[in-house]
Amino acid sequence: MSQPHHRGLTVLAGPTAVGKGTVSTFIRDHHPEVWLSVSATTRPPRPGEVEGVHYFFKSAEEFDRLVAEGAFLEWAVVHGQNRYGTLRSTVDAAVEEGKAVLLEIDLQGARQVKAALPDARFVFLAPPSWEELVRRLIGRGTESVEEQQRRLETAKMELAAEPEFDFTIVNDSVQRAADELVSLMGLSATPR
Ligand code: 5GP
């Protein structure tokens, strides 16, 4: 095909605490054929997070420099706090090589990618219910009460964005949701 295309690029977004990270971790562990983009962030690493595997951890100054250089396909301030962004060069190279590329990003980022690359595939990960989403958010227990409240407010707005997406996957079980995602990407599901 001579036209540049981004059908090999899939964007997974959805409300906070819906389990995007868990689904993408499952895919990282079980689907080496999926090229999972590693984002840059100004958030400090959590225990167990590894530079270059979970994120590229950047200082505010380094992130500013990357923004000024136009290095990001998209970037956003998430939960009113830290900045997260997808590095254009690595994603372009992987798409060019024909890899099945997956970006797990927030809604603001998904909208930026849609504006830049409208023929990418946009997948919304939805919770089984609002009550379940709240339970998952509180249950995670890694954030302060203020942070949980802030994330719930963000989640309400994010849920309303579902119709902007090409597909919805309900995260009722991590493996089932991951299987549905990889089959949407044109790859086969996890062998059982
Ligand atoms: P966490 O701090 O829990 O790892 O991630 C917080 C949020 O940042 C999640 O909703 C995740 O989808 C989002 N996120 C991670 N990487 C990116 C990115 O490169 N761009 C955007 N826009 N959001 C991201």
* 105-115: average pLDDT: 96
Higher-scoring residue by pLDDT: 153, 117: 117
Closest ligand 1 atom number to CA of residue 85: 19
pTM of the predicted protein model: 0.90
Output the pLDDT for position 147.
Answer: 82
Average pLDDT along the chain: 91
CA-proximal residue: ligand 1, atom 2 (nearest):
43
Higher-scoring residue by pLDDT: 144, 48: 48
Domain boundaries, the chain: 9-184
The Cα-based distances of 134 to 13, 148, 153, 177 in angstroms read 17, 9, 11, 19
* 101-130: average pLDDT: 96
Output the pLDDT for position 120.
Answer: 95
Residue with the two structure tokens 């420099």: 65
Q: 77 alpha carbon to ligand 1 midpoint, in Å?
A: 9
Which range is least confidently modeled, 41-50, 119-128, 181-190? 181-190
What CATH number does domain 9-184 carry, 3.30.450.60, 3.30.200.20, 3.40.109.10, 3.40.50.300? Answer: 3.40.50.300
Tell me the C-alpha distance between 81 and 5, whole Å: 33
Q: What's the pLDDT tens digit per position in 121-176?
A: 999 999 999 999 988 887 767 778 888 888 788 888 889 999 999 999 999 999 99
Q: 39 alpha carbon to ligand 1 midpoint, in Å?
A: 8
Closest ligand 1 atom number to CA of residue 82: 2
Q: Is the pLDDT of residue 190 over 80?
A: no
Alpha helices for 31-173 (secondary structure H): 60-68, 88-96, 107-116, 130-140, 145-159
Q: 105 alpha carbon to ligand 1 midpoint, in Å?
A: 5
Q: Which of 87, 89, 106, 137 to mutate to test the pocket of ligand 1 (most atoms within 8 A of CB)?
A: 106
Q: Ligand 1: list residues with CB < 6 Å.
A: 16, 20-21, 39, 43, 74, 76, 78, 84-86, 104-106, 108-109
Output the pLDDT for position 4.
Answer: 45
Q: 134 alpha carbon to ligand 1 midpoint, in Å?
A: 18
Higher-scoring residue by pLDDT: 143, 184: 184
